[in-house]
Structure 1
Amino acid sequence: MKVFITGANGFVGLNIVSALLEAGHEPTAIVRPGSNTTYLEPFGIRVVRGGLDDSRALAEAMRGAEAVVHTAGNTSCNWRDLPQLQAVNVDGTRNVADAALAAGVRRLVFTSTTSTIGADNDPSRRADEREPLRGFRARSPYGRTKAQAERIVADAAAKGLETIVLNPAEVLGAYDYNLQWGRIVLAAHYDQIPFDPPGGASFCHAADVGRAHVAALTRGRPGERYLLAGHDLRFSEFFDAAGEALGKRLNIPSGGYRWLYYKTWLQEKAPALMPGEPVLEAYRLRVLGGSYYFDSSKAERELGYRSAPVQRMLESCAQWYRKHGFLG
């Protein structure tokens, strides 16, 4: 199948490209001029230079494609970045959907996030696709713009495009050069994890998330959304697993989480009172204080999705970092 993919040079995108080639598909990637394609180029796929701001140019680039995988996105949770979030996550998705319709593409697979799905701060519960977003998590600018994007995708479905939405949880594995959860692997390697947050999360293997996108091209039901989670861990357990994968005994300071959260909040909201660059966005730090778990049962039934164990995710990430010089 000829597949047009956005965001192919990103962490999740690279795993999707790998899975597309593994399954025998023929991907074409669009990447912004000047963007980093160091890890995309070895795949040897066709690359088109362009942005998501021109639906006509996108439609021309998509000609001949049977499906589109739209995984490009801005993941900031800082309100100061709202213009960029709006431009990429909302306007960019609208242009991709319009272009797919204009180019006669049959199916669109959209990479969303669990930030558009509700979950209680309750380690005994796992949220599914029907859980409405509420509480402080509904105030994330990232989650809000991705929710808008999901509505745009639904509108495109009403116009005849077959659409599937995938909602990955915390993705971990190879190709994480932008240091999402991989930054914890690096921090563990250098014994620099600054605090032990009290919450937990659902983790999924990046390679299996890539394969789920490929499965959605043929097995996903149009109009449906699928959670991609897998393994629920307290962050303390996750740090222990990271230390084991690296063969290191970690020395993580006890406490400090609450102070770090308020310090980061002040750095974002009142930089004159608390100068300095936050180590992490205040919103993300607050999320780390709770346990938000998600249920992949639907993706397991309908897409054949399975996530590798957390230890394999960590080892895959660490091996890739060693190969590419991230770990000294």
Structure 2
Amino acid sequence: MRVFVTGATGFVGSAVVAELLGAGHQVLGLARSEASAGTLQQAGADVQRGSLEDWQSLREGATYVDAVIHTAFNHDFTRFAENSQVDRQAIETLGKALEGTDRPLLVTAGVALLAPGRVAVEVDKPPADPNYPRQSEAAAAELVERGVRASVVRLPPSVHGIGDHGFVPMLAAIARDKGVSAYLDAGANRWAAVHRSDAGRVYRLALEQGATERAYHAVAEESISFRAIAETVGRQLGLPVRSVSGDEAAEHFGWFAMFAGMDTPASSERTRALLGWKPTQASLFADLERPGYFEAAHV
């Protein structure tokens, strides 16, 4: 297959590109800079210059390929609502290019807030709420209603590996700044996790097997206590670890408090059965305890 990938040089997107190329597929990667274009060419991919805001480049990229994988998202949380709208418009643009065809679109989403209080599964649907933080999945669902073969790959709060710039390195940066690694209350809330390379394989397998499901879960570890994550961060940084709550928690975590308190365990049992997917890479704690993990991470 020839696959158009947005976010092709990003943390998850580059793993998807490597997985596709390694399996003999052709990749057309979206690149907004010369540096990104060079990285893609060096990897063996073709380049579509443009960005999520450049709808013409998205339409062109999606026109002469067999499938599209959308991994790009601007994670600047100071502009989250604006970035979510750009993401939604990009998905709609990609969908229009595929409308009337049988070519699949895989859209990246998350398991956060999917099933509060219990383990999320693939058949769960996000709240039908326009204020839901990220609208990727809602945009994909609207495309399905128009006959587009759109599916979502849901990622857990921690997608880890060398070069990590996600939630755990953000937690480490806060710990460095405050001089303590903290967790909320008892720290009993749970996160799911996956290594970036294992996540990349879910995208490839879903495409190769027809992308027939509404949602796939790229989840290797279903339930990890937030307290255990904070304790590992503290140990690796040589910092004390303790509980915070109330106003102290708000002061310690700032805008990150919502994420620090998320309870987001998620199962991938159905995805594993359908795709024959089995995670093979390091666990979250094995990664975090590697010397220099947080120095290598982009925080």
Question: For this structure pair, what is the TM-score category when the shorter chain's length is used for normalisation?
Answer: 0.7 to 0.9
Distance in 2 between residues matched to 1:240 and 1:294, nearest whole Å: 22
> Which of 107, 110, 113 is matched with 1:113 structurally?
110
Aligned partners of 2:202 and 2:277 also within 8 Å: yes
Matches of 1:280 and 1:190 in 2, distance apart?
12
- Counterparts of 1:206 and 1:140 in 2: how far apart (Å)? 28
Letter in 1 for 2:50: G
Q: Which residue of 2 aligns with 1:95?
A: 93
Match of 2:284? 310
Structure 1 residues 88-97 or 172-181, which shifts more? 172-181
Would you say 1:233 and 2:224 are equivalent positions? Answer: yes
1:148 and 2:138 are equivalent in the alignment = yes
Q: Distance in 2 between matches of 1:317 and 1:152?
A: 45
The aligned residue for residue 271 of structure 1 is none
Q: 1:13 to 1:263 in 2, by over 3 A?
A: same
State how far apart, in whole Å, the 1-side matches of 2:175 and 2:250 are: 24
Task: Provide the residue aligned with 2:194 in structure 1.
Answer: 204
Q: Which residue of 2 aligns with 1:217?
A: 207
**1:214 alignment partner AA:** R
Q: 1:31 to 1:225 in 2, by over 3 A?
A: same
State whether residues 69 and 105 of structure 2, in contact with CA within 8 Å, keep that contact through their aligned partners in structure 1: yes
User: What is the distance in 1 between the residues matched to 2:48 and 2:95?
Assistant: 18
* Cα distance in 2, alignment partners of residues 43 and 302 from structure 1: 30
Rounded to whole Å, the distance in 2 between the matches of 1:230 and 1:258 is 32
Which amino acid is 2:91 matched to?
Answer: T
Question: Shift of the alpha carbon at 1:212?
Answer: 0.3
Residues 65 and 317 (structure 1 numbering): CA distance in 2 closer, same or farther, change over 3 Å? Answer: farther
Per the alignment, residue 268 of structure 1 pairs with none
Deviations 1:188-208 (A, max 9, x none): 899955422322211111111
Which of 253, 259, 264 is the aligned partner of 2:247?
259
- Alignment TM-score, normalising by the size of structure 1: 0.74
Unaligned runs of 5+ in 2: none
Match for 1:310: what amino acid? L
Shift of 1:173: 2.6
Q: CA deviation at 1:291?
A: 2.7
C-alpha distance after superposition, 1:160-219 (max 9, x if no partner): x33221111123333646444334467789995542232221111111111100001112
Aligned mate of 2:122, from 107, 126, 129 = 129
Bigger mean CA offset, 181-190 vs 162-171: 181-190
Query: Are the equivalent residues in 1 in contact too, given 2:169–2:294 (CA < 8 A)?
Result: no
TM-fit CA distance, 1:36? 5.5
1:133-182 Cα deviation digits (max 9, x unpaired): 459xx686533x224323233234x2xx3322111112333364644433
Distance 1:94 1:204 in 2: 28
CA contact (8 A) 2:119 2:264 kept: yes
Which deviates the most, 42-51 or 69-78? 69-78
Paired residue for 1:294?
A: 266
Unaligned runs of 5+ in 1: 265-278
Taking the aligned partners of 1:48 and 1:217, their CA distance within structure 2 comes to 21
User: Quick check: 1:52–1:95 contact (8 Å CA) kept in 2?
Assistant: no
TM-score, structure 2 normalization: 0.80
Q: How does 1:167-206 map to 2 (within 5 A)?
A: 167-174=154-161, 176=163, 178-184=165-171, 193-197=180-184, 198=187, 199-206=189-196
Secondary structure (helix, strand or coil) at the match of 1:291 reads: coil
Distance 1:57 1:191, change over 3 A: closer
- 3-state SS of paired residue (1:292): coil
Cα contact 1:93–1:152 (8 A) shared by 2: no
Distance in 2 separating the partners of 1:316 and 1:41: 30
State the AA in 2 paired with 1:259.
D
8 Å CA contact 1:74–1:142 kept in 2: the answer is no
> Equivalent residue of 1:294, what SS?
coil
Q: Identity of counterpart residues, as a percentage?
A: 21
